[in-house]
Structure 1
């Protein structure tokens, strides 16, 4: 079985979409996110942007191997908003994503079934308006070595096409590298077999 080391997410925030149902307006948004701080920031910006709206319902999923997700109904009947939005995140197979649907009430109650359908549709439209891209799951390592071994280390980095994230070059050197998950074990073996060079996962 080959190791899965890619995941799908969206390339950039989606354009604002508008879905209308019985005078209620549902504005949908999708954002690429990597942590809860970014999620809070997007929600705060939307609250400022739509200060007259009552419901800011959303769902997000973070992570590649260990997934964290949350669905929030924000005052709508239980499971009528957040879960239908989250269902669309699952059906599009994306992660590291936040989907928000902002509702302006139009005076006509939609009922739970109507709400589920409207939130699901708005979420689906915002994901359809997004460019979905594939990214690799990368593992980061710290390589520590004395300056005299620099050439050995750099040769492997070049041969194996590793990404250098940061480097500190003194008497003793440290380089942070990143590699695709499926190559990680191989990289550890190569560096572990080199004399006077340490590698650790970070």
Structure 2
């Protein structure tokens, strides 16, 4: 399945009636990492009025946690969590640090402020859609190269590496759902003269306009 997540965390800030709300976003792969991140933010902003948090982990959101950290129940952590779920984000943690500005915001005001702070933090983060792919290794003669490049161009298949000798060796990244179709099209276009081997499954994403394999 496609999987939206934060590739690179960011920080955003809003001010509401002189209260500062600083959102820090971080990608996390398990609950231990999320807990450690929350604790690190509490240490960093030790003098803040509140450090509220939320995180979601797992392909099916198996872990969902949030904390109001002293704010009225349901006014901080839950709205923050709702933003992460609403954005369909996985493996993501956020801490919103509040410095009280002297004016009470009320229940609705707090919900809006914490939600807005998370959205601001996400705006400064790099969010990607992780997809399943397969690395495909192809070896062809120069006649077949143009045909393969045409197929890949039509299908928007990324070529990761090319090596030119008396023949041409290509490593391509093929979306999992297109694998059989691509193999069939290349075989047909080259009259079976291209050698095709699968290099194994991987995850990939479009990052800043480029296809990248994710570690």
Verify same fold: TM over 0.5. yes
Query: Number of paired residues?
Result: 141
CA distance in structure 1 between the aligned counterparts of 2:61 and 2:46, rounded to whole angstroms: 35
CA distance in structure 1 between the aligned counterparts of 2:132 and 2:121, rounded to whole angstroms: 25
Matches of residues 175-190 of structure 1 in structure 2 within 5 Å? none
Matched, 1:90 2:128: no
Matched, 1:160 2:156: no
Matching residue of 2:163: none
Displaced runs of 4 or more, over 6 A: none
Matches of residues 38-187 of structure 1 in structure 2 within 5 Å? 38-65=33-60, 67-136=62-131, 159-162=197-200
Which structure is higher in strand share? Answer: 2
CA distance 1:66–1:39, change in 2 (3 Å): closer
CA distance in structure 2 between the aligned counterparts of 1:17 and 1:11, rounded to whole angstroms: 16
Matching residue of 1:11: 7
Matching residue of 2:24: 29
CA distance in structure 1 between the aligned counterparts of 2:72 and 2:132, rounded to whole angstroms: 37
| Structure 2 residues not aligned, in runs of 5+ | 134-195, 204-215
Normalised TM-score (structure 1): 0.65
Counterpart secondary structure, 2:35: helix
- RMSD value, Cα: 1.8
Normalised TM-score (structure 2): 0.61
Deviation of 1:137 (Å) = 6.0
